[in-house]
């Protein structure tokens, strides 16, 4: 559990309280916890076959470098990723 807390503090900056008001700091912490939970869910669902659990920092870097195009059409989300991208399979696995 300590490693997960350390990962959240170092990667998503949970300990940063830059606002003078309590409500602002609370909102920032809640958004960071939500982001952590989403990334943890992606890590559990998409990286099941690997024997080593990747860090959230690794996952953020890989998903950011792919450069996907996300859009809304009619009643569904469209996600377009270049097929030549080395991490396109992570996007496909996450949004299946």
What integer pLDDT is reported at residue 49 of this predicted model? 66
Which residue would you say has higher pLDDT here, 17 or 90?
A: 17
Task: List Cβ neighbours of 91 (8 Å cut-off, separation of 6 or more).
Answer: 63, 66, 68, 79, 81
Residue 10 pLDDT greater than 70, yes or no? yes
pLDDT mean over 53-62: 76
pLDDT mean over 40-62: 74
pLDDT band for position 66 (cuts 50, 70, 90): low
């Amino acid at each position: 559990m300590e490693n997960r807390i350390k990962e959240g503090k170092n990667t998503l900056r949970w300990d940063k309280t830059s606002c003078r008001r309590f409500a602002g700091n609370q909102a920032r912490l809640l958004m960071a916890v939500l982001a952590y939970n989403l990334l943890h869910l992606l890590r559990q669902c998409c990286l099941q076959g690997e024997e080593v659990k990747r860090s959230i920092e690794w996952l953020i870097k890989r998903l950011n470098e792919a450069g996907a195009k996300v859009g809304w059409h009619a009643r569904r989300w469209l996600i377009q990723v270049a097929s030549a991208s080395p991490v396109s399979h992570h996007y496909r696995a996450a949004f299946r």
